[in-house]
Structure formats: C-alpha cells, structure tokens
Amino acid sequence: MEVVQVLHMNKGEGETSYAKNSVVQKKIISVATSIIKEEVQKCLEKNYPDSMGIADLGCSSGPNSLMVISDLIDTIYATSNQKEIPLPELRVSLNDLPGNDFNNIFISLPEFYNQLKMEKNIGPEGCFISGVPGSFYGRLFPKKSLHFVHSSSSLHWLSQVPRVLYANILKPLNKGKIYISNSSPRSVLDAYLSQFKRDFSLFMKSRSEEMVVDGHMVLSFMGRLSSDPSSEESCMQWELLAQALMSMALEGLIEEEKIDSFNAPYYAPSIQEVRSVVEEEGSFTINCLEAFEIEWDGDAPSNNNFQKYTDKIGKNNFSRGLQVAKTIRAVVESMLEVHFGREIMDELFKRYAELVGDYFSRTRAKYIDLVISLTKKG
C-alpha cells in the first residue's frame, strides 16, 4: 500500500467528512494547548527572531486546521506585548500528504486573516500562511528555517505497512486481522515496532536539520501505557473493525483473503518506545512526555461527574457507537475503499457502529494520547 497516495481524511463538508467528524482530534488539541503555549513562550525567551518559522505537520482540513495556529499567534502576540517589542513576521507552513483537502483550508484563510486584522491588527504582510504537501518522514523545509513545530494526531501513521506483512501473500502472517491483535504472532508485533522506530527516527532527524538551535517542538499522537503492543488501549478500535469485516466475509460479501492482505499503516507506541527513539537519535532534549486518556467519542468526563456519565452512556451506547464509527470512517475510509471497494463502506461502518456500541456496554473505551515537547540541541 502506497500510504502517501491513499491516506487522507475524508474531504468536503458531508456527513462522513473529517470536517464534520473530528471532535476527538479537537479534544486532543485542547489537551495539549497549555503545553504548546508554554513551549512557545520558552522558544521566544531563547530566540526572538524578526521572522519566525512555524510548521504544523499533519494539519488535515476542517475546523481544527487553523485552531493550533490561532493559539500560537495568540501566545506570540501576548508575549511581544508583554516584552514591548514588535511582533515577528510569521511564516506559517501547513503540511499534510498530497491527498489532503488543502482547498478547504485555503477557502477559510480570508476570514482567518480578517479576524487577525480586527483582533490584533496583523495583516497578511505580517503572517504568511502556505500549504506544504508531502510526507513528514523526510525533509520538507530549508535548513534552520523553523523555530516552532507542532503535530497532532498524525505520528501514529507509519510511512508504510511493514514489508514482512505482505511479503508472502500465500501465507499471511496476520490472518483475519488488520492490525496488531492478541492473536498476532510475535513477528507481527516486532515488524510494527521496527517500522515505527525507523519512521520516528527519520522524522526527528529531518526536523533537526530544519529547526534552529533552541527551537521547540510539541507532538501529540496515539500511544499506550502498557508495555504490551497488543493491549486493548492501543488495538481495540482496529480489532472491532476486523470483526466487522470478518462478519461480512462469513456472509460472502467480501473475500476473506482481502482481509488477510490488509494491514493498517499505524502504530501506537509506548512512552518508553518514544523516549528510546528520541534519545537514540540524539538531536533533541525531552522537556516533558505525558499521557492523557481520551474517550473514544471525545466526551471525557471529570472525575466528579463520572457516575452521572456512566449512567448516561448506559442508555446511549448505540448512538455513541454511531459517533465513533463516523469518526473512524472519516479517518480510514480512503485506505479501506482502495482495498475493499467503495460499495461495502456503508454496511461495514453500520456493523462497526453496532460492535462499538456493544463494547461501550461492557467497558469505558478510551484512547491514550501521548504528548511530548522537545528542544533542539545546539
């Protein structure tokens, strides 16, 4: 599978679009907001340039795309006022794979610029926003051109499916599954970990060449607390999707061999795996590395309201299952459609919603979101 060609969030503004179904990703951004602001302030304390390079990697499209950029500009604006020095010229680069719906972002830019002008008196000549299509597993920007880098809900996507998983189509390693499962052989787990290490190390190396000394970076992506890569917290959403596909195979709606030959280009690393790659690559100092729980539908309760929350969801498991299915569909449909065909998508995600709703009736389903902030070494 050529991930660069087939991976993109669902385009447009329709019912299955990413723009309409990105509440979880918005929640993940909001969880990291305080860390992002703190790192921007630290960056400006060490480096207050006349022209500041900012990159958002894996920006996607829809209402979340300019959310982080808006927060970054707010922080830079407040810091410049506090220091009583001119606001630096802002060079903002929005990156994603070529299939991303960049037009959706560009259409919203005039309104964004108008808001900047009204609220902060920053005109287009003070903030230059551009789209940069391409994979962040490699160089994207000139050397030493970036002061702050951000990425959210993107680095759990690998550059490719581990090659060993499709090396022998006659004897699939991960039969009946589309990602790591508790029934997957050890070779599958090892292959995914090796691919993640290669990709994440290349990501770090590429950014180290593009960033200035003492530049800061904040990354958030799906991960896990457990040392076991087949734990439910990192795999269950894929396990349920595999079950939905297998139920269709049993009814002859799709070929089982199609399922055997599909593996998700995804990996949810542990905290230690992330730390190990960063330290081994050696270009960055880790400032903080934290884990947060995010409900599958983005509706994370406070501890005080947890009992009321559990009472409520007992009555709404199916509707929550539908919401999660829409969220997952908006993210993975492009890949599934290429492999299985467009005609099965509605039925597949109907079954997936039912399985997720049933899973909600048995447990509190949550993702683990890892947030890491780093500083470029001298």
Q: In whole angstroms, give the CA distance from residue 276 to residue 268.
A: 14
> Is the pLDDT at 6 greater than 60, yes or no?
no
**DSSP letter for each residue of 156-188:** TB-SS--GGGGS-TTS-TTTT-SS--TTS-HHH
Q: In whole angstroms, give the CA distance from residue 331 to residue 19.
A: 10
Q: In whole angstroms, give the CA distance from residue 270 to residue 226.
A: 7
222 Cβ neighbours under 8 A, 6+ residues apart: 153, 156, 234, 266, 268, 367, 368, 369, 370
Structure-block tokens of residue 242: 């595999």
Q: In this structure, are residues 205 and 140 in contact, taking their beta carbons and an 8 Å threshold?
A: no
By C-alpha distance, which of 229, 258, 231 is closest to 242?
A: 258
pLDDT at 9: 61
Residue with tokens 């447009």: 12
Q: In whole angstroms, give the CA distance from residue 243 to residue 249.
A: 10
Q: In whole angstroms, give the CA distance from residue 126 to residue 182.
A: 52
- What CA–CA distances, in Å, run from 112 to 101, 107, 108, 121, 133? 17, 10, 6, 12, 21
Q: In this structure, are residues 153 and 117 in contact, taking their beta carbons and an 8 Å threshold?
A: no
Domain count, the chain: 1
Name the most confidently modeled range: 80-89, 191-200, 290-299. 191-200
Q: CA torsion 270→66→294→344, rounded to 10°?
A: -90
pTM summary value? 0.89
- Backbone φ, ψ for residue 176 (5° rounding): 80, 0
Helix (H) or strand (E) holding 330: helix 317-340
Residue with tokens 């340039």: 49
Helix (H) or strand (E) holding 195: helix 186-210
| CATH classification at residue 343 | 3.40.50.150
- Backbone φ, ψ for residue 181 (5° rounding): -140, 165
pLDDT at 223: 95
Residue-wise pLDDT for 115-174, tens only, equals: 888 888 887 778 999 999 999 999 999 999 999 999 998 999 999 999 888 776 667 888
What is the pLDDT confidence band of residue 57, given thresholds at 50, 70 and 90?
Answer: very high
pLDDT at 313: 45
Structure-block tokens of residue 265: 């280009």
Residue-wise pLDDT for 237-284, tens only, equals: 999 999 999 999 999 999 998 999 889 999 999 999 999 999 999 999
Q: In whole angstroms, give the CA distance from residue 326 to residue 308.
A: 25
pLDDT at 325: 87
Domain that holds residue 73: 3-376
Structure-block tokens of residue 303: 């501890």
Q: In whole angstroms, give the CA distance from residue 155 to residue 158.
A: 7
Q: In whole angstroms, give the CA distance from residue 314 to residue 84.
A: 54
Q: DSSP secondary-structure letter at 305?
A: G
